[in-house]
Amino acid sequence: MEELNIKKIIEALLFVSEKQLTLKQVSEVCSGMETTEIKNALKELKEEYATSERGIQIMEVAGGYQFCTHSDCAGYVKKLYKTRRVLRLSGPSLETIAIIAYKQPVTRSEIEFIRGVNVDGVVRTLTDRGLIKIKGRKDVPGKPLLYGTTEEFLQYFGLKSLQELPKLEEFNSQQHMAACLSENVTVEQEQEQEQEQEQEQEDKEKPIEASEEGIEDEEQENKQDQQEQTEHSEVTHND
């Protein structure tokens, strides 16, 4: 198998794969080839995309390789996905996952101590999305669960490994930490964040509307009661 054909095969594999491909996965498909040859072909293919002014590049993400759009094209890609409805991480979720990423393994109570709020719902959401998982139990009374990030976390934020996270001492607040972490979010995920902010705003307005309706209903009931009492008094007086 010629080296040119190896790169063709790798390019095709990366194109059809929905997630990052590890060197081991590519080696299993390209059976009979040395791992070193495949690694060199991947390196060359990555350099070719990086130096040929293309809108697509090959990135090392979560221990594997994946096709990604070039950052210069972000604005145009965002316009294409303007009406796409997808899920995203909220501000509280970003703050929580940032704490877990830097402090892992960490217990839920330790996260709550740092954030100052209950995180039951946020932790459940992050677990359901596969961004964090249970790493074990802490050896203290009660043996609380320990949480840490997953490979899905690295893929979501476009990180090769946890070593690519910004240094912790560079942050002046947990909000700053979450903001810096979100800088690695892809175009599609930025769209997710904008949409969830709109949804959160709608959710905040709903209780207000409901309470206003409740007040109007209560006022209407009071008026009816007063009218009934007046009519009853008039009947009694006439008797």
CATH code: domain of residue 10: 1.10.10.10
Do 198 and 82 meet the contact criterion of CB atoms below 8 Å apart? Answer: no
List, for residues 27-66, the tens digit of each pLDDT value: 888 877 888 888 888 888 989 988 888 888 888 888 889 8
Indicate whether 119 pLDDT > 80.
Answer: yes
Q: Is residue 168 part of a domain?
A: yes
* Range of the structural domain that residue 35 is part of: 3-69
Q: Is residue 239 part of a domain?
A: no
- The reply to whether 47 and 114 lie within a common domain is no
Q: Is residue 219 part of a domain?
A: no
Identify the residue with better confidence: 79 or 203: 79
Which whole number is the average pLDDT over 102-120? 91
**Range name among 100-104, 125-129, 147-151, 185-189 with the lowest pLDDT average:** 185-189
Render 172-237 in DSSP notation, one character per residue.
SSHHHHHHHHHTT--HHHHHHHHHHHHHHHHHHHHHHHHHHHHHHHHHHHHHHHHHHHHHHHHHHH
- The reply to whether 14 and 99 lie within a common domain is no
Q: Is residue 202 part of a domain?
A: no
- The reply to whether 108 and 165 lie within a common domain is yes
Indicate whether 187 pLDDT > 80.
Answer: no
Q: Is residue 142 part of a domain?
A: yes
- The reply to whether 124 and 63 lie within a common domain is no
pTM of the predicted protein model = 0.50
pLDDT recorded at residue 216:
47
- The reply to whether 65 and 122 lie within a common domain is no
- The reply to whether 173 and 95 lie within a common domain is yes
- The reply to whether 101 and 179 lie within a common domain is yes
Please give the distance of CA 179 from its chain centroid, rounded to a whole number. Answer: 13
pLDDT recorded at residue 235:
46
Q: Is residue 138 part of a domain?
A: yes
> Which tokens belong to 113?
């101590």
- Specify the number of domains making up the chain: 2
Residue 202 pLDDT level (bands cut at 50, 70, 90) = low
